[in-house]
Amino acid sequence: MVLELPIAGPTSRILAYAVDAILMVSLTFAVFFLLLTIGSAVGWLGDLVSKAAEEFVSDPARPAPGRYGMLLMAVAIAAQLAIELFYFVFFETVWRGRSPGKRLLGLGVTRSDGLPVSFGASLVRNLLRAVDVLPTSYITGLVSMLVTPRTQRLGDLVGDTVVIRYDRPQVATPVLAAGDGDPHVVFPREQLARLGSDERQLLRQTLRRIETLPPEEAEALAARAARALAQRMGGEAPPPDGAAAHLRALHARIRRTRSAGP
């Protein structure tokens, strides 16, 4: 992980999901009652519920629900999965990877390279909830979190995402004078224009972090960050042994561009 941020453990993730589950149950009931106010939905749902109830009353000792009971259960499960998918994708996209439960517990979803989770990655990780929930109560997802190094469920592995803790931030140390980078590195304005606040934050945090690491770890961290930024800019990544100087030069170029103004 590029920023070396602390990975959230299973316990905090389960607690966050419990908060989200309460909100989703409330949302499900709200949608159900909303559907009951629509004429066509009232007739269809009301008829299905009535027939399922008749099956149960006619034979309450039957070992499994009847035809209409199974259909009602299937509709309820499909509605739950649809609401859950919409709920998580919406909040992870709008709230920068943080559903209400994660926000309350100080957690958030990011891409494995430290950049914000995209709509596509969020959609993939949440579609895989249908697999993680098997055979019941998210057993598959829990096992996956326990055996993977970064506590990832299957949805995280396929979507290339991780859930991290947003610990109380420490006072940021100043970035070393960025002019120490390679002065011969050129960054066209059109490439710099592709870097938003998230990429600039990634750059600053990486430069601060590498000053606290042993040389080998610092070189590896700088190389990963440089690759991620180069991909976003549409340029070529520097060699690992020149990544730190490349990042400092990029930081210097951004500072000069912002100081010069438009």
Non-local CB neighbours of 99 within 8 Å, separated by 6+ positions: 16, 20, 87, 88, 91, 92
Split at pLDDT 50, 70, 90, the class of 41 is: low
Q: What is the tens place of the pLDDT at every residue in 1-13?
A: 344 668 899 999 9
Structure confidence at residue 172 (pLDDT): 46
| pTM for the full predicted model | 0.61
Q: Helical H runs in the chain?
A: 10-36, 39-58, 67-94, 100-105, 119-127, 129-132, 139-147, 154-159, 189-192, 197-210, 215-233, 243-260
Split at pLDDT 50, 70, 90, the class of 27 is: confident
pLDDT at 44 over 90: no
CA distances from 167 to 110, 205, 216 (A): 15, 15, 26
| Tokens 């209409």 sit on residue | 68
Structure confidence at residue 122 (pLDDT): 95
Q: What percent of the chain has pLDDT over 90?
A: 32
Structure confidence at residue 211 (pLDDT): 86
- Contacts from 165-173 at CB under 8 Å and sequence distance 24+? 165/5, 165/6, 165/7, 165/8, 165/12, 165/106, 165/107, 166/106, 166/107, 166/108, 167/6, 167/106, 172/204, 172/208, 173/208, 173/211
Q: What is the tens place of the pLDDT at every residue in 166-206?
A: 875 554 444 444 444 445 567 888 888 888 888 888 888 88
| 108-122 b/e (C-beta count within 10 Å ≥ 16 → b) | bbbbbbbbbbbeebb
pLDDT at 135 over 50: yes
CA–CA separation, 133 and 138 (whole Å): 4
Higher pLDDT, residue 249 or 170: 249
CA–CA separation, 49 and 250 (whole Å): 63
